Amino acid sequence: MCRDTARHVISLSDLSDVDIRRIVARGGEFARGAAAGLRPQPTLAGSVIGLYFSRTSTRTRTAFSAGALRLGASVVAYGPGDLQLNTGETSEDTGRVLAGMLDALVARTAGDPAEMRAWARQERMAVVNAMSADEHPTQALADLTTLAGQFGAVDGLRLLYVGEGNNTAAALALGLSRYPGVRLDLRTPPGYGLAAEIRDRAAAAAAASGAVIRERHDMAELPADAEVVYTARWQTTGTSKPDPDWRAVFDPFRVTTAVMSAMPKAVFMHDLPAHRGEEVDAEVLDGPASIAFTQAESKMYSAMAVLEWCHGAG
Q: Give the C-alpha separation, 308 to 314, whole Å.
A: 8
Q: Which of 103, 227, 271, 308 binds ligand CP (CB under 6 A)?
A: 271
**Binding footprint of ligand CP, residue count (CB under 6 A):** 10
When the beta carbons of 59 and 158 are compared against ligand CP, the nearer one is: 59
Residue 50 Cβ vs ligand CP, minimum distance, rounded to whole Å: 17
- The candidate with the shortest Cα–Cα distance to 145, out of 19, 26, 229, 267, is 26
How many Å apart are CA 230 and CA 161, to the nearest integer? Answer: 5
CB of 281 to ligand CP, least distance (A): 19
The closest of 311, 300, 314 to 43, measured between CA atoms, is: 311
Check binding of 237 to ligand CP (CB under 6 A).
yes
Tell me the window of 24-32, 44-52, 205-213, 269-277 that interacts with ligand CP (CB under 6 A): 269-277
Interactions with ligand CP, residue window 45-84 (CB under 6 A) = 57-60
- Start-to-end Cα distance in the chain: 14
Query: What's the min distance (Å) between Cβ of 58 and ligand CP?
Result: 4
Please state, in angstroms and rounded to a whole number, the distance separating the CA atoms of residues 116 and 225: 39
CB atoms within 10 A of CB 218: 12
Of 118, 272, 286, 313, the residue at the interface with ligand CP (CB under 6 A) is 272
Q: How near is the Cβ of 57 to ligand CP at its closest, in Å? A: 3
The smaller minimum CB distance to ligand CP, of residues 47 and 60, is found at 60
DSSP string, 123-144: SSSEEEES--SS--HHHHHHHH
> Per-residue string for binding with ligand CP, 84-123, x by CB under 6 A?
----------------------------------------
283 backbone dihedrals φ, ψ, rounded to 5°: -65, -25
Burial of residue 38, with CB atoms counted within 10 A of its CB: 0-12 exposed, 13-18 middle, 19 or more buried: exposed
CB of 73 to ligand CP, least distance (A): 19
Of the candidates 133, 134, 138, 84, the one whose C-alpha atom is nearest the C-alpha of residue 106 is 138
Q: Whole-number minimum distance, CB 51 to ligand CP, in Å?
A: 11
Residues 126-165 contacting ligand CP, CB under 6 A: 131, 139
Interface residues toward ligand CP, by CB under 6 A: 57-60, 131, 139, 237, 271-273
